[in-house]
């Protein structure tokens, strides 16, 4: 089958060029098959690459959900227990024993000063054997976690709490948790959004405050943090609040200008309250 088109007549007779109908039909079928194949491939690829969507009102599952606190702390507990078994397995109360015991406490995130105090207290009890030292350590650890010592000692009317720290450690979230805990204890907290540097910091604090059910005092973006903190304190007094919690911008201790700013906040609040 050939076309009735004569290439000798190109381009003067191109308008009169016609194709054999059987050839035209075959070409059309081939084009149609190719188009269908491409469409199917695109649809299949789209289904494979499309991410799963969460339905409205649902939240992604967190790996720790369904596990008890003890299960989540099992690794840390086992590591600390193994370190203590190694220390007490020495069998002799000497300088190495006490040094290793302090190192084990520091490694368990007790803190350098806390570990030193605990080991010092155990040594001052003058244990005669390793077993007595073990008993003394147990008593000191229980004493460190005594219920009374964990209570917030809030002084002032209202009491003022300034939350400080480096960037990204969860200060704002901790403030919300602290406010919720204080409300459970019958307190009436108020929050001050003195982080005027980070974008939308006051909005984040406001969202948490709405969930907890507490008031927030904030200022304009870039406002003096000490001024916002002072306004929060005065609002707390006027509204009959007994605790004012002030959120501050994250900062490192080697940034002198930011540390001076923090010092100003403390000085301004310290004139009318105890921090």
Number of domains in the chain: 3
Q: Pull the structure tokens for residue 237.
A: 């007094």
Domain boundary among 103, 125, 148: 148
CATH number at residue 99: 1.20.120
Q: Which of 156-160, 227-231, 240-244 has the lowest mean pLDDT?
A: 156-160
Domain boundary among 148, 169, 199: 148
Looking at per-residue confidence, does 107 or 42 come out higher? Answer: 107
Identify whether 13 is part of a domain: yes
Identify whether 237 is part of a domain: yes
Looking at per-residue confidence, does 109 or 187 come out higher? Answer: 187
Identify whether 28 is part of a domain: yes
pLDDT at position 225 over 80: yes
Whether 140 and 244 share a structural domain? no
CATH number at residue 225: 3.40.50.300
pLDDT at position 238 over 70: yes
Q: Which of 67-71, 123-127, 216-220, 242-246 has the lowest mean pLDDT?
A: 67-71
Whether 245 and 177 share a structural domain? yes
Q: Which of 7-21, 32-46, 195-209 has the lowest mean pLDDT?
A: 7-21
Cβ(219)–Cβ(165) below 8 Å: no
Closest CA to 201 of 188, 189, 182, 216: 216
* pLDDT value at residue 153: 78
* pLDDT value at residue 80: 82
Domain boundary among 148, 166, 181: 148
* pLDDT value at residue 34: 72
Identify whether 122 is part of a domain: yes
Whether 141 and 235 share a structural domain? no
Q: Pull the structure tokens for residue 55.
A: 């339905």
When pLDDT is averaged across residues 137-153 and rounded to a whole number, the result is 77
Q: Which residues contact 16 (CB under 8 A, 6 or more apart)?
A: 9
Q: Which of 46-60, 154-168, 236-250 has the lowest mean pLDDT?
A: 46-60
Cβ(193)–Cβ(202) below 8 Å: yes
When pLDDT is averaged across residues 264-269 and rounded to a whole number, the result is 92
Domain that holds residue 11: 1-50
Q: Which residues pair with 193 in a beta bridge?
A: 218, 247
Whether 162 and 266 share a structural domain? yes
Looking at per-residue confidence, does 87 or 73 come out higher? Answer: 87
Cβ(189)–Cβ(247) below 8 Å: no
The pTM is what? Answer: 0.52
Whether 113 and 193 share a structural domain? no
Whether 169 and 265 share a structural domain? yes
* pLDDT value at residue 43: 64
Cβ(167)–Cβ(183) below 8 Å: no
Identify whether 67 is part of a domain: no
**Pairing status of strand 215-218 against strand 159-163:** unpaired
Residue 15 carries which DSSP code? G
Looking at per-residue confidence, does 273 or 159 come out higher? Answer: 159
The C-alpha atoms of residue 134 and residue 153 are separated, in whole angstroms, by 31
């Amino acid at each position: 089958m050939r076309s009735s088109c004569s290439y000798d007549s190109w381009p003067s007779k191109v308008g009169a060029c016609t194709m054999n109908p059987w050839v035209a039909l075959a070409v059309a079928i081939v084009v149609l098959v190719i188009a269908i194949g491409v469409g199917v491939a695109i649809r299949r690829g789209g289904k494979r690459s499309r991410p799963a969507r969460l339905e409205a009102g649902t939240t992604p599952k967190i790996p720790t959900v369904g596990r008890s606190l003890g299960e989540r702390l099992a690794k840390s507990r086992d590591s600390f227990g193994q370190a203590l078994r190694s220390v007490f397995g020495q069998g002799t109360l000497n300088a190495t024993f006490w040094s290793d015991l302090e190192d084990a406490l520091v490694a368990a995130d007790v803190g350098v000063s806390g570990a030193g105090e605990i080991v010092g207290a155990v040594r001052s009890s003058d244990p005669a054997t390793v077993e007595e030292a073990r008993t003394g350590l147990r008593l000191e650890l229980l004493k460190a976690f005594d219920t009374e010592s964990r209570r917030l000692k809030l002084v002032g009317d209202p009491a003022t709490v300034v939350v400080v720290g480096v960037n990204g450690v969860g200060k704002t979230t901790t403030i919300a948790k602290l406010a919720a805990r204080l409300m459970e204890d019958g307190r009436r907290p108020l929050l001050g959004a003195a982080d005027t540097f980070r974008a939308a910091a006051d909005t984040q604090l406001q969202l948490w405050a709405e969930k907890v059910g507490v008031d927030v005092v904030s200022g304009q973006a870039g406002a003096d943090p000490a001024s916002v903190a002072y306004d929060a304190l005065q609002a707390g007094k006027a509204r009959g609040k007994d605790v004012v919690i002030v959120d501050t911008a994250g900062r490192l201790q080697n940034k002198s200008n930011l540390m001076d700013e923090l010092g100003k906040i403390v000085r301004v609040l310290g004139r009318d309250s105890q921090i």
